[in-house]
Amino acid sequence: MRPAALDALAWPSCGHAVEVGKIVRGAPERIEEGELTDSVCGHRAQIRRFIPRFAKGGPDVDSFGYQWRRFARTQLDRYNGTTLSRQRFFDGTGWAPQELAGQRILEAGCGAGRFTDILLSSGADVYAFDATEAVDVCLENVGPHPRLSLIQARLEEAPFKPGAFDRIFCYGVLQHVADPRAAFVRLVSWLRPGGALAADVYRRAFMPSRWNARHLWRPVTRRLPKPLLYKVVERYVPPWIEVENRCARIPKLRGLLASVVPCWNYTGTPGLTAAQIKEWAVLDTFDALAAWHDHPQTERAVEEWCR
């Protein structure tokens, strides 16, 4: 880790400064192994493999650690030959690349680093965290980098100072915490006055659709051992894509099937090969079925968060 990154950190339970307690391995400017401390309250956090560890994962988040180890480079533009992550980032946030240079930006829920890479390429000073060992995958994919600080922490207990960031980015995370509204409020607290926040959350829908099919199966699938669930998804999703595509000329039948069988079908997505379409489908279908928490929100609920 970079000791300079401590300027944005505070112990979540008390707000005290986070300090370097000891360095076991590495240079003072980049600590590989060591310990962070709170000289007032005695809190401690280990630094392992260059990353401060404020969380240890848990059954409610471990599916993501498994997921990003298995699909470490699937969605990173630099490895898959597309610009899909870049397009999603800038189309979704409405930010321009030149606006990000030199800004301190927090990425809440970095996963394997698909958007971390975009932020770094735009010249931002990036703080990225995740609750699982996905942070190690992110480091392998986009680090080490002089403008990157990675932290293992849960959103609910992440160690950041109020008003520490110019911008905060949080995609694909809020629906997967126990209390999305409280998590959103916490994100806002880390934003400086006049800063910008870009976040998304699953939309709550009441009609049958391909996006709701997961709820029929999740009471079982989220409890399955992750390797077993992965094998199930890996087996049924690729052939099911072919079934769906053959039903394209019968929209009602295709819609009915999609509302019962969860399958993220990316057929027709520009830039993806046939193999990549299947890989992305397996990844996102597994994600939808494995996550412990899945709390979609209505538009009205999100508007109320912002008041």
Q: What is the pLDDT of residue 217?
A: 97
299: pLDDT strictly greater than 80? yes
Over residues 201-242, the pLDDT tens digits come to: 999 987 777 778 999 999 999 999 999 999 999 999 999 999
Q: How far apart are CA 50 and CA 130, in angstroms?
A: 14
Beta bridge partners of residue 191, listed in sequence order: 165
Provide the residue type at 114 as one letter.
R
At a CB cut-off of 8 Å and minimum separation 6, what does 92 contact?
171, 198, 200
Are the beta carbons of 173 and 164 closer than 8 angstroms?
no
Q: How far apart are CA 281 and CA 275, in angstroms?
A: 10
Task: Provide the CATH topology of domain 3-199.
Answer: Rossmann fold (3.40.50)
Are the beta carbons of 201 and 180 closer than 8 angstroms?
yes
- Categorize the per-residue pLDDT at 27 as very low, low, confident or very high, splitting at 50, 70 and 90: confident
- Categorize the per-residue pLDDT at 61 as very low, low, confident or very high, splitting at 50, 70 and 90: very high
70: pLDDT strictly greater than 80? yes
Over residues 179-193, the pLDDT tens digits come to: 999 999 999 999 999
High-pLDDT (> 90) share of the chain, %: 89
Beta bridge partners of residue 25, listed in sequence order: 33
Six token digits for residue 49: 């493999």
Helix, strand or coil for residue 114?
Answer: helix
Q: How far apart are CA 30 and CA 208, in angstroms?
A: 51
High-pLDDT (> 70) share of the chain, %: 100
Taking residues 139-146, report their average pLDDT: 96
Question: How many helices (H) and strands (E) in the chain?
Answer: 12, 9
249: pLDDT strictly greater than 90? no
Distances (CA, A) of 143 to 5, 113, 120, 172, 300: 15, 10, 10, 22, 39
Largest CA distance in the chain: 68
Q: What is the pLDDT of residue 44?
A: 96
Q: How far apart are CA 245 and CA 17, in angstroms?
A: 56
Q: How far apart are CA 125 and CA 177, in angstroms?
A: 26
- Categorize the per-residue pLDDT at 150 as very low, low, confident or very high, splitting at 50, 70 and 90: very high
Element (H, E) at 20: strand 19-27
Q: pTM for the full model?
A: 0.94
At a CB cut-off of 8 Å and minimum separation 6, what does 71 contact?
112, 279, 283
Taking residues 84-113, report their average pLDDT: 98
Q: What is the pLDDT of residue 112?
A: 98
Are the beta carbons of 170 and 108 closer than 8 angstroms?
yes
Q: What is the pLDDT of residue 58?
A: 87
Q: What is the pLDDT of residue 254?
A: 86
At a CB cut-off of 8 Å and minimum separation 6, what does 79 contact?
73, 141
- DSSP-derived letter for residue 105 is E
Taking residues 38-57, report their average pLDDT: 93
The ranges assigned to domains in the chain are 3-199, 214-290
Q: What is the pLDDT of residue 260?
A: 94
**Residue 204 CB-density burial (10 A; 0-12 exposed, 13-18 middle, 19+ buried):** middle
Q: What is the pLDDT of residue 57?
A: 78
User: Helix, strand, coil: what percent of the chain each, to 5?
Assistant: 40, 20, 40
Phi, psi of 229, deg, nearest 5: -60, -40
At how many degrees (to 10) do helices 251-258 and 226-246 cross?
Answer: 170
Of 98, 87, 97, 159, which Cα lies nearest the Cα of 127?
Answer: 159
Q: What is the pLDDT of residue 248?
A: 84
- Categorize the per-residue pLDDT at 111 as very low, low, confident or very high, splitting at 50, 70 and 90: very high
158: pLDDT strictly greater than 80? yes
Of 272, 70, 56, which Cα lies nearest the Cα of 153?
Answer: 56
Q: What is the pLDDT of residue 172?
A: 96
Mean pLDDT, the chain, rounded, equals 96
Other C-beta atoms within 10 Å of 252: how many? 8
